[in-house]
Amino acid sequence: MPRKKYSEEQIITKLRQIEVMVGQGRSLEESCRAIEIRPGMYYRWKRKYGGMQIDQARRYKELERENARLKKLVADLSLDNAMLKEVASGNF
């Protein structure tokens, strides 16, 4: 069975659906089967997205992208700085 890639909005929606089903008395395994995910995936999603609203998940993803971009900039600037120090000391 091919793996599906879910967006943050879809994950939060599925988590809420499972919570409603469990609240209605269905078991967690039965609820996960109805939503077509594995219980392990539910627990992984719950750990990462549990209690988040959809707009919070979007902001979280945006911050992750910005953080990755800034890390790359810092690495580039550190490399430039190291090269300039080598040239300034005359060890080129």
Q: Which of 21-25, 37-41, 51-55, 75-79 has the lowest mean pLDDT?
A: 51-55
The whole-number pLDDT of residue 22 equals: 93
Domain that residue 68 falls in: 54-92
Does 44 lie in the same domain as 27? yes
- The span from the CA of 30 to the CA of 32, in Å, is 5
Question: Span 25-54, mean pLDDT?
Answer: 90
Return the higher-pLDDT residue of 2 and 70.
Answer: 70
Residue 66 has pLDDT above 60, yes or no: yes
Whether 59 and 34 share a structural domain: no
pLDDT of res. 6: 87
1, pLDDT greater than 70:
no
Same domain flag for 59 and 45: no
Q: Does 68 share its domain with 39?
A: no
Examine the domain organization and report whether 72 and 30 are in the same domain: no
Neighbours of 91 (CB within 10 A): 7
